[in-house]
């Protein structure tokens, strides 16, 4: 086989292999040819909220999903958030010792949809990442947090909760 013919044959074989990969399910694709991870910027409410005020306190965080792998592979993903210490995503609570403070995390700035795992009235957030093999590819998903007003009996303190981010390949 001549050198030019062989080079064209190798290029076609590589393109056919990539085309076959692109036709398979995302979970199978990522098993062998991509990796994804999540990082988060916390939803930090600060210290301005008052338990006797009727005003809610809002803050925004971010979940960043970063993937790397074979160039051109489109990976559909779904991102879910755990319920945290309360065990109920519809009624999340931050704690400080034996004290707790109601709050929640939402998919939208209007605080209409609780971000959870898709169960019990919560929703997950879906998106797609087109893999760029040279630098990886990231998808930023804003997280909208809100503490409702009028929570009498809540004492001053440093309240926190731990939320687990889960990426599912669709």
The predicted pLDDT at position 24 comes to 39
Cβ partners under 8 Å of residue 160, min gap 6 = 94, 95, 96
pLDDT digits (tens, 9 = 90+) for 40-82: 999 998 877 787 778 899 999 999 998 887 677 788 889 999 9
Least confident of 22-26, 34-38, 125-129, 151-155: 22-26
Higher pLDDT, 17 or 48: 48
**Does pLDDT of 4 surpass 50?**
no
The predicted pLDDT at position 116 comes to 97
Q: Which CATH class is domain 26-169?
A: mainly beta
C-alpha 123/C-alpha 89 separation (Å) is: 10
Question: DSSP letters along 98-124, please?
Answer: TEEEE-EEESSTTS-SBBSSSSTT-B-
The domain ranges of the chain are: 26-169
Q: Which of 63, 169, 137, 47 is nearest to 101 (CA)?
A: 47
**Does pLDDT of 23 surpass 60?**
no
Mean pLDDT on 92-115: 96
The predicted pLDDT at position 17 comes to 34
**What long-range pairs does 41-46 form, CB within 8 A, spacing at least 24?**
43/105, 43/143, 43/144, 43/145, 45/103, 45/145, 45/147
Strand partners, 57: 147
The predicted pLDDT at position 76 comes to 87
**Does pLDDT of 13 surpass 50?**
no
pLDDT digits (tens, 9 = 90+) for 132-153: 656 568 899 999 999 998 888 8
């Amino acid at each position: 086989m001549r050198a030019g013919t062989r080079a064209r044959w190798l290029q076609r074989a590589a393109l056919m292999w990539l085309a076959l990969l692109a036709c398979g399910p995302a979970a199978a694709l990522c098993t062998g040819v991509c990796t994804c991870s999540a990082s988060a910027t916390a939803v930090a409410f600060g210290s301005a909220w008052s338990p006797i005020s009727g005003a809610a306190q809002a803050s925004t965080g971010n979940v960043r999903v970063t993937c790397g792998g074979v160039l051109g592979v489109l990976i559909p993903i779904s991102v879910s958030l755990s319920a945290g210490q309360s065990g109920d995503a519809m009624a999340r609570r931050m704690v400080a010792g034996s004290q707790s403070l109601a709050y929640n995390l939402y998919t939208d700035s209007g605080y209409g949809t609780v971000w959870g795992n898709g169960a019990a009235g919560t929703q997950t957030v879906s998106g797609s990442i087109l893999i760029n093999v040279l630098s990886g590819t990231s998808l930023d998903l804003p997280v909208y947090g809100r503490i409702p007003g009028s929570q009498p009996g809540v004492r001053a303190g440093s309240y926190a909760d731990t939320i687990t981010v889960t990426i599912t390949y669709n």
